[in-house]
Structure 1
Amino acid sequence: MAVAGLLADARSLADIAREEASNFRSNFGYNIPLKHLADRVAMYVHAYTLYSAVRPFGCSFMLGSYSVNDGAQLYMIDPSGVSYGYWGCAIGKARQAAKTEIEKLQMKEMTCRDIVKEVAKIIYIVHDEVKDKAFELELSWDYRHEPPCPVTK
Structure 2
Amino acid sequence: MASQGTGYDLSASTYSPDGRIFQIEYAAKAVDGAGTALGMRCTDGILLAVEKLVPTKLLVPSAKGASLNRRIAAVDRHVGLTTAGLTADGKHLANRARDEALNFRDTFRMPTPVPALAERLSLYIQAYTLYSSVRPFGISTILGGVDADGPQLFLIEPSGAHFGYRACAVGKGRALAKTELEKLDYAALTTSEAVQKAADIIYKVHAENKDKDFELELSWLCPQSKMLFAPVPPALVAEAAQKAKDALDEEMED
TM bucket (normalised to shorter chain) is 0.7 to 0.9
**Aligned partners of 1:24 and 1:32 also within 8 Å:** yes
**Aligned partners of 1:107 and 1:115 also within 8 Å:** no
Cα distance, 1:130–1:120 mapped onto 2, change above 3 Å: closer
Q: 2:173 aligned with 1:94, yes or no?
A: yes
| Structure 1 residues without counterparts, runs of 5 or longer | 147-153
Q: 2:168 aligned with 1:85, yes or no?
A: no
Output the CA distance in 1 between the equivalents of 2:225 and 2:209.
Answer: 39
More RCO (CA 8 Å, sep 6+): 2
Shift in Å at residue 145 of structure 1? 3.2
Matches within 5 A, 1:56-67: 56-67=136-147
Deviation >4 Å, runs of 4+: 129-132
**Aligned partners of 2:82 and 2:90 also within 8 Å:** no
Identity within the alignment, % = 52
Largest Rg, 1 or 2: 2
* Aligned partner of residue 51 in structure 1, secondary structure: coil
Aligned twin of 2:102: 22
Q: Given the two structures, how large is their TM-score scaled by the length of structure 2? A: 0.54
CA RMSD of aligned residues (A): 1.7
- Count of residues in correspondence between the two structures: 145
Cα distance, 1:105–1:138 mapped onto 2, change above 3 Å: same
Output the CA distance in 2 between the equivalents of 1:110 and 1:130.
Answer: 28
Cα distance, 1:139–1:10 mapped onto 2, change above 3 Å: closer
Q: From 79, 100, 111, give the equivalent of 1:31.
A: 111
Pick the structure with more strand per residue.
2
| Structure 2 residues without counterparts, runs of 5 or longer | 1-80, 228-254
Cα distance, 1:33–1:130 mapped onto 2, change above 3 Å: closer
**Aligned partners of 2:168 and 2:178 also within 8 Å:** yes
Output the CA distance in 2 between the equivalents of 1:18 and 1:30.
Answer: 14
Q: Given the two structures, how large is their TM-score scaled by the length of structure 1? A: 0.87
Cα distance, 1:39–1:14 mapped onto 2, change above 3 Å: same
Any idea what the Cα deviations from partners look like across 1:7-30, whole Å, max 9, x if unmatched? 111111111111111111000000
